[in-house]
Amino acid sequence: EAGVTQSPTHLIKTRGQQATLRCSPISGHTSVYWYQQALGLGLQFLLWYDEGEERNRGNFPPRFSGRQFPNYSSELNVNALELEDSALYLCASSFGAATYEQYFGPGTRLTVT
Protein backbone atom coordinates (compact mmCIF):
# COMPACT_ATOMS: atom_id res chain seq x y z
CA GLU A 1 0.00 0.00 0.00
CA ALA A 2 1.40 3.40 -0.97
CA GLY A 3 2.08 5.86 1.80
CA VAL A 4 1.48 9.58 1.87
CA THR A 5 3.16 11.23 -1.11
CA GLN A 6 4.17 14.86 -1.49
CA SER A 7 5.40 16.91 -4.42
CA PRO A 8 7.66 18.49 -5.24
CA THR A 9 10.52 17.20 -3.09
CA HIS A 10 12.29 20.53 -3.23
CA LEU A 11 11.04 23.97 -4.20
CA ILE A 12 13.04 27.16 -4.55
CA LYS A 13 11.24 30.48 -4.76
CA THR A 14 12.09 34.13 -4.34
CA ARG A 15 10.55 36.58 -1.92
CA GLY A 16 7.07 37.72 -2.91
CA GLN A 17 6.35 34.71 -5.11
CA GLN A 18 3.71 32.07 -4.49
CA ALA A 19 4.37 28.40 -3.72
CA THR A 20 2.04 25.45 -4.22
CA LEU A 21 2.70 22.19 -2.43
CA ARG A 22 0.76 18.99 -3.06
CA CYS A 23 -0.13 15.97 -0.97
CA SER A 24 -1.79 12.66 -1.74
CA PRO A 25 -3.07 10.77 1.32
CA ILE A 26 -3.06 7.05 1.91
CA SER A 27 -5.91 5.43 0.02
CA GLY A 28 -9.04 5.46 2.18
CA HIS A 29 -7.87 8.34 4.40
CA THR A 30 -10.17 11.35 4.40
CA SER A 31 -8.23 13.73 6.66
CA VAL A 32 -5.14 15.64 5.57
CA TYR A 33 -2.95 17.73 7.86
CA TRP A 34 -0.23 20.23 7.01
CA TYR A 35 2.73 21.07 9.25
CA GLN A 36 5.69 23.43 9.00
CA GLN A 37 9.06 22.40 10.38
CA ALA A 38 11.53 25.26 10.34
CA LEU A 39 15.19 24.48 10.96
CA GLY A 40 15.82 23.78 14.64
CA LEU A 41 12.15 24.09 15.56
CA GLY A 42 9.44 21.55 16.24
CA LEU A 43 6.59 20.85 13.88
CA GLN A 44 3.98 23.58 13.84
CA PHE A 45 0.39 22.72 12.95
CA LEU A 46 -0.82 24.61 9.87
CA LEU A 47 -4.12 23.23 8.60
CA TRP A 48 -6.44 20.25 8.86
CA TYR A 49 -8.82 19.25 6.08
CA ASP A 50 -11.46 16.57 6.32
CA GLU A 51 -14.03 15.65 3.68
CA GLY A 52 -13.12 18.71 1.67
CA GLU A 53 -13.61 21.19 4.51
CA GLU A 54 -11.08 23.13 6.58
CA ARG A 55 -11.61 21.85 10.15
CA ASN A 56 -8.88 23.61 12.10
CA ARG A 57 -6.11 26.11 11.53
CA GLY A 58 -2.90 26.88 13.35
CA ASN A 59 -1.48 30.30 14.21
CA PHE A 60 -0.34 31.24 10.72
CA PRO A 61 -1.25 34.32 8.62
CA PRO A 62 -3.95 34.11 5.94
CA ARG A 63 -1.36 33.94 3.17
CA PHE A 64 -1.08 30.27 4.14
CA SER A 65 -4.10 28.59 2.63
CA GLY A 66 -5.08 25.35 1.05
CA ARG A 67 -7.82 23.10 -0.12
CA GLN A 68 -8.80 19.47 -0.29
CA PHE A 69 -10.07 17.94 -3.49
CA PRO A 70 -12.87 15.37 -3.94
CA ASN A 71 -10.26 12.62 -4.17
CA TYR A 72 -8.96 13.79 -0.74
CA SER A 73 -5.64 15.04 -2.10
CA SER A 74 -4.67 18.47 -0.89
CA GLU A 75 -2.80 21.61 -1.85
CA LEU A 76 -1.03 24.07 0.39
CA ASN A 77 -0.57 27.55 -1.05
CA VAL A 78 1.76 30.12 0.41
CA ASN A 79 1.40 33.62 -1.04
CA ALA A 80 3.78 36.56 -0.79
CA LEU A 81 6.64 34.34 0.31
CA GLU A 82 8.96 35.60 3.02
CA LEU A 83 12.44 34.37 3.88
CA GLU A 84 11.19 32.85 7.14
CA ASP A 85 8.82 30.60 5.20
CA SER A 86 11.83 28.46 4.32
CA ALA A 87 11.12 25.12 6.00
CA LEU A 88 10.21 21.49 5.56
CA TYR A 89 6.47 21.21 4.96
CA LEU A 90 5.02 17.91 6.03
CA CYS A 91 1.67 16.46 5.10
CA ALA A 92 -0.02 13.72 7.11
CA SER A 93 -3.21 11.76 6.59
CA SER A 94 -5.54 9.76 8.80
CA PHE A 95 -8.61 7.59 8.41
CA GLY A 96 -11.37 9.84 9.63
CA ALA A 97 -11.20 12.87 11.85
CA ALA A 98 -11.13 11.26 15.28
CA THR A 99 -8.52 8.57 14.67
CA TYR A 100 -5.34 8.60 16.67
CA GLU A 101 -2.84 7.75 14.00
CA GLN A 102 -1.49 10.23 11.49
CA TYR A 103 0.84 8.97 8.79
CA PHE A 104 3.39 11.44 7.48
CA GLY A 105 4.74 12.00 4.00
CA PRO A 106 8.40 12.69 3.21
CA GLY A 107 7.90 16.44 3.07
CA THR A 108 8.60 19.28 0.66
CA ARG A 109 11.67 21.39 1.34
CA LEU A 110 10.78 25.01 0.50
CA THR A 111 13.64 27.48 0.19
CA VAL A 112 12.86 31.18 -0.18
CA THR A 113 15.73 33.37 -1.41
Residue 56 or 71: which CB sits closer to another protein?
56
Angle at 75 between CA 4 and CA 30, to 5 degrees: 50
Rounded least distance, CB 79 to another protein, Å: 23
What is the largest distance, in Å, between two alpha-carbon atoms of the chain? Answer: 39
Rounded least distance, CB 107 to another protein, Å: 6
Q: Which residues make Cβ contacts (< 8 Å) with residue 102, sequence separation at least 6?
A: 33, 92, 93, 94
Rounded least distance, CB 51 to another protein, Å: 12
Binding site for another protein (CB under 8 A): 4, 31, 33, 35, 40-45, 48, 50, 55-56, 58, 88, 90, 92, 97-98, 100-107, 109
Q: In this structure, how many other beta carbons lie within 10 angstroms of the beta carbon of residue 112?
A: 19
Residue 19 or 90: which CB sits closer to another protein?
90
